[in-house]
Amino acid sequence: MSSISPELVPAINKSLEISLPDTISPEELRKKLSAHINTLINNDFEKLVFLLYRVDVNEARMRALLAHKEGENAAGLIADLIIERQLQKIKSRQQFRQRDNNIDENEKW
């Protein structure tokens, strides 16, 4: 991830109920997100589960990844999955907007 989509940080802030700065490097985003997730793992696991559900992280994929990379930083792996899922949602919304813009005005409701 070389640059961050301008929609990514606001989407993460809203979904995870946190306040990351809008201008942040990809590395710093992952670091801060990992720290937040680690805090939730240790202090409020139920809230973490709720937030992962809210973001719509694939539970089966997350379990498989954590099992496959046992011993690695779980918070970092979860942060990567959250970032990846938010980017997928942003891309999907952009494609949907493009599709809507290509519809003839007479065809719109």
pLDDT at res. 103: 64
Q: Residue by residue, what is the 3-state secondary structure of 17-35?
A: CCCCCCCCCHHHHHHHHHH
pTM confidence score? 0.83
Work out the pLDDT band at 106, boundaries 50, 70, 90: low
pLDDT at res. 1: 45
| 62-72 per-position pLDDT tens digit | 999 999 998 88
In whole angstroms, how far apart are CA 91 and each of 16, 26, 28, 29, 65?
Answer: 19, 17, 22, 19, 23
pLDDT at res. 4: 83
**pLDDT > 90: what percent of the chain?**
72
Comparing CA positions, the residue from 15, 20, 92 lying closest to residue 55 is 15
Quote the mean pLDDT of the chain. 89
The helix (run of H) or strand (run of E) holding residue 6 is none
| 19-65 per-position pLDDT tens digit | 999 889 999 999 999 999 999 999 999 999 999 999 999 999 999 99
